[in-house]
Amino acid sequence: MDGAVAVLLHVEQLRDSMNAVTGAFGYTGKYIARRLLMLGESVLTLTGHPGRSNEFGASVEVFPFRFDDPDAMAESLSGVRVLYNTYWVRFDHGKTTYDRAVANTRALIRAAEIAGVERVVHISITNPNPESPLPYFRGKALLEEEIRKARLSYAIVRPTVVFGAEDILINNIAFLLRKLPAFIIPGTGQFRLQPVYVEDLARIAVEVAHSPGNIVIDAAGPEIFSFEELVRSLARAVRSRAVILHAWPPLALAAAHILGTVFHDLVLTGDELEGLMANLLISGDAPTGSTCLSRWLTDNSGALGTRYASELDRHYLSPQFVSSGHER
């Protein structure tokens, strides 16, 4: 077969292939689904919010999660070539726990095997560790092990802190800088983050879906900030007059809990603070994202932090929870 013809046939096969994206109405899942549709590929979603309004309309077929019945979930995945998994939880809340999220994801992997899915692109986290005292990073590591054992080819994408128009962490820091007279930084604030743009993450996920062999890759942006540098960059972007203070980390966490009471949300958990201060949200590899947060802040300063983004309202108060997992 002529090489050019073979390439055209391969491209046509990709165009006609079906992709499943968990949480396509959420944060990272939405950007992955957008990118796939832009490339002419077909998309369905498994979601805990099948009735949620969305931008895709009839372009994306919708199926509910059936974690309690992998065989039924496999029927929804019939004909799917690539499964993009963004499902996870940010913290324990009521019956929504890390342990349940791990069990649910195992059921999803089992359903993919039953359905004959060829490849899974799994959104994990930088620096996962099965021995970590932090359940977020430990759970992600356990699921990476599960995927390696499955009868599927795989690409594991490990993002750092994901930023974009709908993110929670950076938006809410900007909101607090706009609204409060003071902002408290835990400790010295010299722990580091390497934010990656959500569209870069989506691009990386789609690229590795079409790459040969099993892959583990970090998704990290081109800039590394100390937490204090990040806060001060956000303060400049939104022209904040807040006084930036340093406090003993437990005191800063107590202040976050008070704010959580005000906003009926969980602003910051102890585990999240520990993970930040342990420098777990940076990559030791070359950057894979190209979008600079510093430039993005300049371009989006007018809209950034104008409204508080509640994690509980967005995800945890629904009957069945699904998260992109990277809305910190």
Q: Is residue 268 part of a domain?
A: yes
% of the chain surpassing 90 pLDDT: 84
Helix 227-237 vs helix 169-179: angle between axes, to the nearest 10 degrees? 60
DSSP string for residues in 38-103: HTT-EEEEEES-TT---S-GGGEEEEE--TT-HHHHHHHTTTEEEEEE--B-SS-BTTB-HHHHHH
Mean pLDDT, to the nearest integer, of 19-34? 96
10 and 77 housed in the same domain: yes
Q: Which CATH number characterizes residue 17's domain?
A: 3.40.50.720
The pTM is what? 0.91
Token reading at 78: 């019939």
CA distance 114 to 146: 15
Do residues 280 and 127 make contact, with C-beta atoms less than 8 angstroms apart? yes
% of the chain surpassing 70 pLDDT: 91
26 and 154 housed in the same domain: yes
Mean pLDDT, to the nearest integer, of 65-93? 95
Do residues 254 and 247 make contact, with C-beta atoms less than 8 angstroms apart? no
> SS3 of 157, please?
strand
Mean pLDDT, to the nearest integer, of 126-135? 97
For 304, the domain range is: 169-192+223-280+291-309
CA distance 321 to 210: 29
Banded pLDDT at 316 (limits 50, 70, 90): low
**Which residue, 137, 76, 78, is CA-closest to 102?**
137
pLDDT given for residue 111 in this prediction: 98
pLDDT given for residue 317 in this prediction: 56
Span 240-275, pLDDT tens digits: 999 999 999 999 999 999 999 999 999 999 999 999
**Which residue, 86, 87, 88, is CA-closest to 35?**
86
Residue at 31: amino acid letter: Y
pLDDT given for residue 296 in this prediction: 98
Banded pLDDT at 3 (limits 50, 70, 90): very low
pLDDT given for residue 230 in this prediction: 98
Q: Is residue 323 part of a domain?
A: no
Angle among Cα 274, 258, 137 to the nearest 5 degrees reads 25
Mean pLDDT, to the nearest integer, of 158-178? 96
Q: Is residue 285 part of a domain?
A: no
Banded pLDDT at 16 (limits 50, 70, 90): low
DSSP class of 239 = T
32 and 77 housed in the same domain: yes
Span 288-314, pLDDT tens digits: 999 999 999 999 999 999 999 998 887
Give the mean pLDDT of the chain.
Answer: 91
Q: Which CATH number characterizes residue 231's domain?
A: 3.90.25
93 and 20 housed in the same domain: yes
When divided into structural domains, the chain yields a total of 2
Q: Is residue 324 part of a domain?
A: no
Task: Write out 107-150 in H/E/C secondary structure.
Answer: HHHHHHHHHCCCEEEEECCCCCCCCCCCHHHHHHHHHHHHHHHC
Mean pLDDT, to the nearest integer, of 81-89? 97
Span 187-228, pLDDT tens digits: 999 999 999 999 999 999 999 999 999 999 999 999 999 999
